[in-house]
Amino acid sequence: MSIRKRVLLHGAAVLLLFWFLGPILWLVSASFQLDNELFSVPPHWIPHNPTLDNYTFLITREPPPVYQGAEMGRRASGEALSAIPALQNSLVVAGSVMVLNLALSALAAYPFSRLRFAGKDFVLGFIVTSRLIPAIAVGIPFFAIVQRLGLLDTKLALILVYLAFTLPFTIWFLIKYFDFVPPEIEEAAMVDGCGRLQALLRIVLPLSLPGLAATGAFAFMLAYSEFLFAVLLTRTMASKTVPVVLSAAAINFDVSYALASTAVVIAILPPIALALLFRNYVLRGLSTAFGQ
């Protein structure tokens, strides 16, 4: 590589790293500052008086001395304080969606990948095109369905809705993935008297682990991120998820930036951890499905 090319490539990479990570690094720095320091001009990129008060406050919900003054007490709004309960709701919802989605989409993708049966193209076409309807277009009817099922303000309602959202993607993705698993091994097993379901569970699934990991991670993240229906279908902390609580805090002009930043840092940890832990699986899964 020529010197000029090396400089150019490194320069571009540094700029991109700055763009992608800069805002998050600042968020982390802000979470270790208090509001009075956050408003300094120019900002303290590295906190001069780093403090864990924001984290202690959010986790224990006991206001540390700095937040007990009238000014700070007002700013420490209830929304930021609901961050941890909301996080628990989000984890329950996203975790359930991940598990159920994996089971249902593996089961549904298998016959599409392996079997010839009447109505195959029609059902697959229906499932895949169902996601072309924009979310905002079905806001009112979703509300009506959930109300009729008596599930308003429950986590179960969110789980059902997110399953309906994620399944079309994950079924399509797993069909592509299963297509890459050679059918000869299951055929041999079935000659030896192994049933279809057993072939799926004992042979196809273990050979598709990267694809399943990518599927699970995708379902978790979509459920963890979803916002519009979470706003429409939740009322109280019985079911409010992280995006609902944090967006309310973010547009509230009275909120403490330091506390809200801390809440955002805590909230983005689970999906980032998941993405980095499953990085190799996700990348391998994606490249198998897309590298033709």
Partner 1 sequence: MPGSGVQVPPIALGSRRPRWTSASVQRHLFAYLSLLPATIIVALFTLYPTLYSLNLALHQYHLLRPGRHPFVGARNFVEALSTPGLYSSLLVTLQFTAMSVAGTAVLGTLIALLLNQPFRLARVLQVAILIPWAIPAVMAGIIWRWVFRGDVGVLNGLLYSLGLIDSYRSFLGDPITAKLALVVAHLWKHLPLATILLLATLQVIPRELYDAAKLDGAGTWQLFRSITFPFLKPTLAVVLIFDTIVAFTTFDLVFAMTGGGPANATTLIAWYIYNEIFTNLNLGRGAALAFLVALLTLVIALVYLRALRTERLYREG
Q: How far is the CB of 62 from partner 1 (least distance, A)?
A: 25
Subset of 257-286 contacting partner 1 (CB under 8 A): 257, 260-261, 264, 267-268, 271-272, 274-276, 279, 282-283, 286
Helix ranges (DSSP H) in 47-195: 53-60, 70-75, 78-81, 83-114, 120-129, 139-148, 155-179, 184-191
Residues whose CB falls within 8 Å of the CB of residue 100, separated by 6 or more in sequence, listed in order = 159, 163
Identified binder of partner 1 from the candidate list 42, 65, 150, 193, rule CB under 8 A:
42
Q: How far apart are CA 200 and CA 110, in angstroms?
A: 7
Residue 23 interacts with partner 1 (CB under 8 A)?
Answer: yes
211 binds partner 1 (CB under 8 A): no
Give yes or no for a contact between 153 and 241, defined as CB atoms under 8 angstroms apart.
no
Nearest distance, CB of residue 283 and partner 1, angstroms: 7
Shorter beta-carbon distance to partner 1: residue 238 or 275: 275
> Cα(283)–Cα(59) distance, rounded to whole angstroms?
34
* Concatenated DSSP letters of 179-243: HTS-THHHHHHHHTT--HHHHIIIIIHHHTHHHHHHHHHHHHHHHHH--HHHHHH--STTT--HH
Taking CB under 8 A as the criterion, the residue among 99, 107, 189, 237 binding partner 1 is 107
Measured between alpha carbons, how far is 169 from 130 in angstroms, rounded to an integer? 10
Of the pair 62, 121, the CB lying nearest partner 1 is at 121
- Enumerate residues 145-164 that contact partner 1 by CB under 8 A: 145, 160-161, 163-164
Size of the site for partner 1 (CB under 8 A): 94
Do 233 and 153 meet the contact criterion of CB atoms below 8 Å apart? yes
174: its two tokens: 């797993």
Is 38 a binding residue for partner 1 by CB under 8 A? The answer is: yes
Query: Minimum Å distance from CB 16 to partner 1?
Result: 6
Task: Looking at residues 115 to 144 of the shown chain, list those that interact with partner 1 (rule: CB under 8 A).
Answer: 115-123, 126-127, 130, 132-142, 144
Structure tokens at 102: 């994996």
Query: Shortest distance, CB of residue 238 to partner 1, whole angstroms?
Result: 20
Query: 58: closest CA among 25, 89, 81?
Result: 81
CB of 182 to partner 1, least distance (A): 19
When binding is defined by CB under 8 A, the residue of 2, 3, 19, 65 that contacts partner 1 is 19
Q: Looking only at residues 174 through 193 of this chain, which bind partner 1 when binding is defined by CB under 8 A?
A: none
Q: Report 45-84 residues binding partner 1 (CB under 8 A).
A: none
